[in-house]
Amino acid sequence: MPIKNLHSILRAVIFLGLLSAFIWILKPFFPAIILAMAFGMAFYQVSQWMRKKWHLNESLSAFLTVFLSVLCIILPLLFLTGLLAREALSFATSINIESLEATLENLNAQEQFTIANYSLDLTFIKDKIMASLGSIGTYVSVGSLSIISAIYNSLFQFFVFLLIYFYFLRDSKTLIKLLKKLLPYPVSQQKKLFHAFKSVTQTLVYGNLRLAAIAGVIAYIGFLIFGFKGAMIWALLAGVFSLIPALGTLLVYGLGILTLGFSEGIWLAALMFAYYILVEVVLRESLLQGWLLEDKLKLHPILVFFALVGGVSAFGSLGLIYGPLTIVFLGTLYQFHVKGKG
């Protein structure tokens, strides 16, 4: 083998080895990188508008965009946390402590409890409960370390997301030029790929936020009609959970329907179930979601379903972005290679 060819092979092996090592280094940050790129594409026009409107430099306009967009996400979550804490405190203060203590003392003094001529050995039950509490304490002490580790990892990933989000907005033109040099496609096809990525991310970010807001309004009206206290909390939960495909709002409405069935009767619960089917499923999930997502993504409804549900199943919450991106890119590349378009 000629020396020149051997050198070319060695250079290729070294480059591929270093590239593999670089990808391996980035692997833990893939979720933060993809999410930051999606937000960067979605809010790039906002950053450019602020730069031109207020005569800012790229760094300041990128920083303001990151700050304002993240604030719009964090503030509702903090508001929801405060409402949940207030309701939990209200529930705790409503408990009659003296009555509860008297009941527990009465049970503690008994050794047997009779129901329909059947005696229960309370001493045995109390021993089992104490043993279970001890096991729970062990699990809590071990699990608390995992919880602390998960919180630390989430905060670190969030910091990485903010960092990449900022630099993506600030240096987007340079990054796009670099990607265009690396992509093995002609300029016309590169434009289609970038347009597809921008269109999908903007549709998903803005479309899902609009659908979540609509889900919250629908839930607020419904829970208010059926006499739930704290309808705003139910509405916020429905809005947040609506971002989870297939089972999102069903979890919130299901809990509400069960609560209504036990407290007010089965007929009122049936009416609330009918409200959920007609307004939430038919109106929002079928008609409005089809208009906001399916038509703009230009995908068949079944492909949108597999993209969202399959994406979440495979990649977790970020599958809401990964799934549609994968299918749209696959469709675009199919047009390039099979149909010869582009």
Q: What is the pTM of this model?
A: 0.65
Q: Are residues 149 and 294 in the same domain?
A: no
Number of domains in the chain: 2
Q: Which residue(s) pair with 112 in the sheet? A: 121
Assign residue 42 a region: left if phi > 0, alpha if psi is -120 to 50, beta otherwise? alpha
Q: What is the distance between the alpha carbons of residues 121 and 166, in angstroms, rounded to a whole number? A: 65
Q: What is the distance between the alpha carbons of residues 293 and 299, in angstroms, rounded to a whole number? A: 9
Q: Are residues 129 and 203 in the same domain?
A: no
Mean pLDDT in residue range 297-312: 76
Question: What does the pLDDT read at residue 64?
Answer: 92
Q: Are residues 44 and 154 in the same domain?
A: yes
Average pLDDT along the chain: 77
Q: Are residues 206 and 324 in the same domain?
A: yes
Q: Note whether 174 and 268 are within 8 A (CB).
A: no
Question: What does the pLDDT read at residue 229?
Answer: 79
- pLDDT (tens digit, 9 = 90+) per residue, 25-59? 988 888 888 888 888 888 888 888 888 888 888 88
- pLDDT (tens digit, 9 = 90+) per residue, 171-215? 888 887 888 787 888 888 888 888 888 788 778 777 778 888 888
- Whether residue 116 has pLDDT greater than 50: no
Q: Are residues 248 and 131 in the same domain?
A: no
Mean pLDDT in residue range 72-88: 67
Determine the structural domain holding residue 166 and report its residue range.
Answer: 30-79+107-171
Residue 325 domain-assigned (yes or no): yes
